């Protein structure tokens, strides 16, 4: 998760807070459009959010 936030800040010019919100928005979109991936998305981002704590 930290690597993705770093890439968004470096390549898209987002603040870390904006990058985090973008990731949350994308995760929500994927879960909405592809419900069968919801569990996988949750696991990926839950594991990544532990890195931030």
pLDDT of residue 22: 94
Q: What is the 3-state secondary structure (H, E, C) of the chain?
A: CHHHHHHHHHHHCCCHHHHHHHHHHHHHHHHHHCHHHHHHHHHHHHHHHHHHC
Question: What average pLDDT does this structure show over 18-27?
Answer: 93
Residue with the larger pLDDT of the pair 51 and 9: 9
Does residue 27 register a pLDDT over 60?
A: yes
Phi-psi region of 38 (alpha: psi -120 to 50; beta: other; left: phi over 0): alpha
CA angle at 21 for the pair 52 and 25, rounded to the nearest 5°: 120
Angle CA 21–5–31, to nearest 5: 50
Q: How confident is the model at residue 52 (pLDDT cuts 50, 70, 90)?
A: very low
pTM metric for this prediction: 0.74
């Amino acid at each position: 998760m930290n690597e993705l936030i770093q890439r968004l800040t470096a390549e898209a010019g987002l603040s870390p807070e904006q990058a985090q919100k973008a990731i949350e928005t994308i995760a929500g979109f994927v879960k909405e459009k592809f419900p069968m991936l919801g569990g996988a998305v949750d696991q990926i981002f839950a594991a990544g959010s532990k890195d931030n704590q």
